[in-house]
Structure 1
Amino acid sequence: MSDRETYAIVGAGLAGARAAEALRGAGFGGRIVLIGAEPDLPYDRPPLSKEVLTGSMPPERTRLRSAEEWAADEIDLYLGTRVTRLLPAERRLLLAESTGRTGSLRVDKVLFATGGRPRRLAVPGADLEGVSHFRTLADALAVRPHLVPDAPIVVVGAGFIGAEIAACARQSGCQVTVLEIADVPLRRVLGDEMGARYARYHRERGVDLRLGVNVDRIEGDDRVRAVVATDGTRIETSCVIVGIGIEPDLEVAAEAGVATADGILVDEYCRTSLENVYAAGDVANAPNPYLGRRVRLEHWQNAQNQGIAAGRSMAGAAEPYGEVPWFWSDQFDLRLQLAGHISPDHKIVYRGDPDSASFCAFYHRDGVLHAALGINRPREVRAAMRLIAKRTRVDVHELAEEGRDLRKLTPLPA
């Protein structure tokens, strides 16, 4: 492999960073260019809506590596730089820097790890100062000074990002109002029963959670002063934080002719429909052998591990990628972990009291475990992942038995 070869990674988040490291680890000796639209060194996102927001973690601790460590691996960082076009026939990327300068880069292989952009709140006043569409380190640092005792804060969206932000704001002593258009928060991920439990948990801790309500408009002068909800109520506030999901950042890939459908379509080796073009992380829509369908995952685990798989694939050390989906969320004193995927037709078996702060919910169909949700039960969720991966059929009464080692359950005939 010639040292003159250049591999570019578009997107300097977790997936892109791990792909760059994996390329070097797999023996690629050519040039690696990691291109990020943000000016910051590649960083980890989960602390943004938790420790960074509360001030318990300084921004520099979110960095995945230091500048010196990137340089030691001879990985070139193009930060504050956007890719505006991919020209496949010319093997060239067109670039625009935050300073306004433009240029191009000749490449032999490209990985899109562009993640997503926050969905915008399409209402009057959404562009006022003090309204944050929460996604980046800069967003977290801009919101943090507003989280002071008795400050009125409005959070739009009760998904995981919104719920984590609401918990942080409430723990900081803020008066927190959350507006959620659905009648059950987190229904798509957790189902009705667990979504309702989370609503109750937040309300018990002082969050004014309003369901079935959206934003009609945002009022202000030089900055935001109030939110008017669709039910007509007016909520005075000094800060509005919007967390209503992301849209995959795929326009450059699509314009170049890469196949897309709710993300960039890839195979099990992270390859797209164009030769020498790959994708990984939040933007990639990939087949998942454990779910039995294509899926685009916005999870930390997937970004890291699929990024590693993509880097190895680019280097010629490809192995099929597919893992049981897993993620976590910290809210107040609860750590929620979910492995697998919940469907409405699953039956639930509880281990522990579901009204307590420590239990597991196992989701099965005819004794075959498909998902496990744990509240402050990390070991059991980890053990359940093996059962989900193997599609093991078990005695559901054993799932419910406290103290029973999930690794030693009696397998039943399929």
Structure 2
Amino acid sequence: PKLEGICYYRTLDDYLWVKERISAGKSAVIIGGGFIGPEMAAALTENGMNVSMVFPDEYLCRNILPDYLARPLENKYRDRGVSIHCFDRPEGFAAKDDMVITRTERGKEIESNMVLICIGIVPEVSLAKSAGLHVADGIVVDEHLQTSHVDIFAAGDAVFFPNNAIGRMTRFDHWDNAIHQGRTAGRNMAGAKEPYLHISYFSSQLFDFYYEAIGEIDPSLNTYADWQRDKTGVVYFLRDITIRGVLLCNMRGRINAAREMLDKRIAPENLHAAIR
């Protein structure tokens, strides 16, 4: 049975549940250190809560940020009072009065007023399955957002589509993608036959560090950082000298310029001041 005080953070109702329980001096455990977890930890900390994080990776945002950005960011979380438990996972939860005890695989017991499970979402595809549509990691569509049924189109977070930016099928859980896919699907249902070519971005605010990212954001790629000043600048993700992704750090209003840089072949030494 689900314990009172534990929230699997996925929906608007979950947001409202958390909002009602935010109170300075109370405590929260965040499970997950990828995208939503760090956002939630920063927001709760700024609202005066005592926050602990538990995640299996070596450091925060490991699948998004290069280590030379992620590690200083994690240090900022520690400086703000966030207790970081990396290389660890929850093993179980128990109730204690009005608190929740989180027990981890490494033997930690963390007491808190609430536990937020921030480990991503699973697409809701039951309707698509019942309709006989092809389903994989979401509702499978072609470049026109047409499903395996000729008269059914799909768009949004639950869609598994050919992503032109990274050259493979993927889902993209972000409002920018949902809006543009919806428009394209609507036009195609009316007979336009337009391929979906929009390259969507995502963004995050983590204390005073804001980023926008577009394209193939993969820390295993080679990167080139073009800093204007401390932690303000552009990080390029490169395959050979081809720009596959762009990360804008504390630079707002430049996403269209970043989008135009994708797939250009530019030697790193020539990327200085390419986006300002």
AA of the residue aligned to 2:58? D
Give unpaired runs (5+ residues) of structure 2: none
Question: How do residues 382-401 of structure 1 correspond to structure 2 at under 5 angstroms?
Answer: 382-388=256-262, 391-399=263-271, 401=272
- Aligned mates of 2:218, 2:45 — CA distance in 1: 31
Please say if residues 341 and 371 of structure 1, whose CA atoms lie closer than 8 Å, have aligned partners that are also in contact: yes
Match of 1:326 in 2: 201
Match of 1:255 in 2: 130
Mean alpha-carbon deviation: is it higher for 253-262 or for 192-201? Answer: 192-201
TM-score for both structures, normalised by structure 2: 0.91
Question: How do residues 207-226 of structure 1 correspond to structure 2 at under 5 angstroms?
Answer: 207-220=82-95, 223-226=98-101
Please say if residues 165 and 216 of structure 2, whose CA atoms lie closer than 8 Å, have aligned partners that are also in contact: no
Q: Percent identity?
A: 32
Larger radius of gyration: 1
Match of 2:9 in 1: 134
Q: Shift of the alpha carbon at 1:184?
A: 2.9
Match 1:308 to one of 183, 199, 203: 183
Please say if residues 373 and 381 of structure 1, whose CA atoms lie closer than 8 Å, have aligned partners that are also in contact: no
- Aligned mates of 1:379, 1:395 — CA distance in 2: 25
AA of the residue aligned to 2:47? S
Please say if residues 129 and 222 of structure 1, whose CA atoms lie closer than 8 Å, have aligned partners that are also in contact: no
Match of 1:236 in 2: 111
- Aligned mates of 1:168, 1:243 — CA distance in 2: 13
- Aligned mates of 1:346, 1:193 — CA distance in 2: 13
Distance 1:233 1:336, change over 3 A: same
- Aligned mates of 2:28, 2:123 — CA distance in 1: 28
Match of 1:372 in 2: 246
- Per-residue Cα deviation, 1:217-261 (whole angstroms, up to 9, x for no partner): 111157543212221121111111111110111122123211111
Question: How do residues 101-116 of structure 1 correspond to structure 2 at under 5 angstroms?
Answer: none
AA of the residue aligned to 2:265? R
TM-score for both structures, normalised by structure 1: 0.62
Q: Shift of the alpha carbon at 1:193?
A: 4.2
Distance 1:277 1:164, change over 3 A: same
2:76 paired with 1:201: yes
Distance 1:197 1:278, change over 3 A: farther
Give unpaired runs (5+ residues) of structure 1: 1-124, 408-414
- Aligned mates of 1:132, 1:381 — CA distance in 2: 33
How many residue pairs get matched?
Answer: 276
Question: How do residues 8-407 of structure 1 correspond to structure 2 at under 5 angstroms?
Answer: 127-220=2-95, 223-343=98-218, 346-352=221-227, 356-388=230-262, 391-399=263-271, 401=272, 404-406=273-275
Q: 3-state DSSP class of the match of 1:278?
A: coil
Please say if residues 100 and 111 of structure 2, whose CA atoms lie closer than 8 Å, have aligned partners that are also in contact: yes
AA of the residue aligned to 1:392? K
Q: 3-state DSSP class of the match of 2:65?
A: helix
Please say if residues 217 and 247 of structure 2, whose CA atoms lie closer than 8 Å, have aligned partners that are also in contact: no
AA of the residue aligned to 1:133? Y
- Per-residue Cα deviation, 1:263-282 (whole angstroms, up to 9, x for no partner): 11101111000121111111
The answer to which structure has the higher helix fraction is: 1
Could you list the structure 1 runs, at least 4 aligned residues long, displaced by more than 6 angstroms after superposition: none
Q: 3-state DSSP class of the match of 1:282?
A: coil
Mean alpha-carbon deviation: is it higher for 222-231 or for 199-208? Answer: 222-231
Distance 1:241 1:274, change over 3 A: same
Q: 3-state DSSP class of the match of 1:361?
A: strand
Q: 3-state DSSP class of the match of 1:248?
A: coil
AA of the residue aligned to 1:260? V
CA RMSD, 1 decimal: 2.1
Q: 3-state DSSP class of the match of 2:15?
A: helix
Distance 1:345 1:334, change over 3 A: closer
